[in-house]
C-alpha cells in the first residue's frame, strides 16, 4: 500500500508550548488528509479533515484555534498543538487519501506527552 510518514514519532514538551506534527504522503498525492487523536484503550477519534489548499473542517468539540491544521501541498499536512497542556497528551495519527482511489492510508502516529 501507499506510504504515509509522520514526524516526530514521539515528542515531550512543556506545558504552554506549541508542538508541530508533520504528515507526508511519500508516494502519492494526498488531496485529503485526516487527523485523529487516540487516548489509551480508546478508539481513534477524528479531529479534522483537510483538503489541499483549503481550510480544515473540524469535528464537533475540537477547538480549531488550539489544533491548527495546514495542508499547503499535496504531500504535506501539519498539525500544530498550540499552548499544549497535560490533557492534550495523546496519540495523534494522520491519514491520507489520494485522488486516484478512495483508500486511506495511515501514518505511524505521534505520541505527544505534555509535562
Interface contacts to another protein, rule CB under 8 A: 1, 4, 6, 31-32, 34, 36, 43-46, 49, 91, 93-95, 97, 99, 101-109, 111
Q: Are 3 and 95 in contact (CB under 8 A)?
A: no
Q: How far is the CB of 16 from another protein (least distance, A)?
A: 26
| Least distance in angstroms from the C-beta of 88 to another protein | 18
Shortest approach of another protein to residue 83 CB, angstroms? 26
Q: Of the two residues 1 and 14, which places its CB atom closer to another protein in the complex?
A: 1
State the cell numbers at 45.
477519534
Give the closest residue to 92 by CA, choosing from 75, 77, 102.
77
Measured CA to CA in angstroms, residue 56 lies from 12, 29, 84 at distances of: 26, 17, 20
Amino acid at each position: 500500500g501507499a506510504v504515509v510518514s509522520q514526524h516526530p514519532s514521539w515528542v515531550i514538551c512543556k506545558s504552554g508550548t506549541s508542538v508541530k506534527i508533520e504528515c507526508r504522503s511519500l508516494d502519492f498525492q494526498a488531496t485529503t488528509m485526516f487527523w485523529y487523536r487516540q487516548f489509551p484503550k480508546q478508539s481513534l477519534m477524528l479531529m479534522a479533515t483537510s483538503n489541499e489548499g483549503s481550510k480544515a473542517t473540524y469535528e464537533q468539540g475540537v477547538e480549531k484555534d488550539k489544533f491548527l491544521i495546514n495542508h499547503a501541498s499535496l504531500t504535506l499536512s501539519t498539525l500544530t498543538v498550540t499552548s499544549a497542556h497535560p490533557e492534550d497528551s495523546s496519540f495523534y495519527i494522520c491519514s491520507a487519501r489520494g485522488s486516484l482511489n478512495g483508500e486511506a492510508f495511515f501514518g505511524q502516529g505521534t505520541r505527544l506527552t505534555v509535562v
